[in-house]
Amino acid sequence: MTTVNYQALIREVPDFPKPGILFYDITTLLKNPAAVQGLADQLTTRYQDRGITKVVGIESRGFIFGGILAARLGAGFVPVRKPGKLPADCYEVKYSLEYGNNSLAVHRDAIDTGEHVLIVDDLLATGGTAKATVHLVRQLGGTIVGLDFLVELKGLKGRDKLTGYEIHSTITYP
């Protein structure tokens, strides 16, 4: 089996979306079939025996691996989206991120009380988006099994906002 250097496949884009932000673009990784397959295999192995009934993907790049993982685990997929993007009754939460403020929403009927939930996103930076998603899942009564990120920027200490939860990051930057 060939080992893929996932970090080498991520493009770094300075000053996006604002000056002073270094953006880690995963589209260069996603176009590599071996990388996508390898990551999907690793994540499936990591979570297959955890009793996960729902995978929550955070808009928008969390939908990619979240959807793949939900299908492989035989779990439902729940999108957490920006306000106004979901058609039914929603819970909404406001949060701060590394370059501004935003809100997230989830359908009120997306997760049943006691369901085992894995939260998936592409990036853990300051932790605001993930913390907001944790809040939404808990509001619905879900039991959070863990949070999984493709990339973690350790220097921004987002993990500190998620104490008490199992966190896995495939790639870490200082």
Residues designated catalytic: 61, 98
* Nearby residues of 28 by Cβ (< 8 Å), 6 or more positions away: 9, 10, 11
CB atoms within 10 A of CB 56: 29
How would you class 108 by CB atoms within 10 Å of its CB: exposed for 0-12, middle for 13-18, buried for 19 or more? middle
Judge whether 167 and 149 are in contact, CB under 8 Å.
yes
d(CA 74, CA 48): 9
Cα 38 to Cα 43, 66, 119, 156, 170, distances in angstroms: 9, 15, 19, 27, 11
